[in-house]
Homo-oligomer: A and B are copies of this chain.
C-alpha cells in the first residue's frame, strides 16, 4: 500500500486538512487522506467509482464502502462537497478552521467544458435562509447549483469548448 504522489498544491491543502482535523480531534487517517488527495487532484468533480479505481492503484482491495465512508467523513468535515447534479465530489476551496464544518457553497457547472466553480456568495445563502425562516423551516444544509455556460466557453467558438 504505497503512498500516491500528489502535486505540491494538493500536498499543501492536505497539510491544512491535517491541521484542521487535529484541532477538531478527528482522525484524518491515511485512507481518508488518500481519498481527499484524489478529490483535490481532479480539476473537475470526480465520481465515487472513479475515485475507487484510482484508489485501487495504491490501495489493494478497496471496495465501494471504502470510498463512501471516506467521502462521508470528508463531507462531514467540510473538506469536500458533493455536486448533486453530477453525483460527483470536489475539494472545498474555502477551508477555514473557525467556520462551521458545512459552510454554504454554490456551484456553477459549465455544460460545455464540465468545469465547476465554487462560489460562497453571502447574498445567495442569505436569501435562501431568509426564505426558509419565513416558513419556520430550520436549515441544516443546502445545495445550490447552477448549470449553464462559463465565461470562457461563451467566448470560445462553438466547435472548441474552453479546455478543462
What chain B residues lie within 8 Å of A138 (beta carbons)?
Answer: 148-149, 154
Number of copies: 2
Does A135 reach chain B (CB closer than 8 Å)?
A: yes
Binds B, one of A49-57, A63-71, A120-128: A120-128
The segment from A17-25, A39-47, A139-147 found at the interface with B is A139-147
Chain A's interface size range is 35 or more
CB < 8 Å neighbour of A85 from B84, B126, B136, B151:
B84
Given the known interface contacts A127-B124, A127-B127, the answer about A142 and B137 at a Cβ–Cβ threshold of 8 Å is no
With a cutoff of 8 Å between Cβ atoms, the chain B residues found around residue A143 in the complex are 84-85, 143-147
Asked if A131 CB lies within 8 Å of chain B CBs, one says yes
Q: Identify the closest chain B residue to A110 (Cβ).
A: B137
Does any Cβ of B come within 8 Å of A88's Cβ?
no
Q: A10 near B: Cβ within 8 Å?
A: no
What is the CB-to-nearest-CB distance from A134 to chain B, in angstroms, rounded to a whole number?
9
Closest to A104 in B: B146
Decide if A131 touches B149 in the complex (CB within 8 Å).
Answer: no
Closest B residue to A137 using CB positions: B108
A13 within 8 A of B: no
Q: Give CA–CA (A86, B77) in the complex, Å.
A: 22
Residue from the set A85, A106, A108, A124 with the largest chain B CB neighbour count within 10 Å:
A124
Query: Hey, which chain B residues are within 8 Å of A146, CB to CB?
Result: 128, 132, 137, 139, 141-143
Beyond A84-B85, A106-B128, A144-B144, is A150–B123 a contact (Cβ under 8 Å)? no
Residues of A within 8 A of B (CB): 84-85, 106, 108, 110-111, 117, 119, 121, 123-124, 126-128, 130-132, 135-151, 154
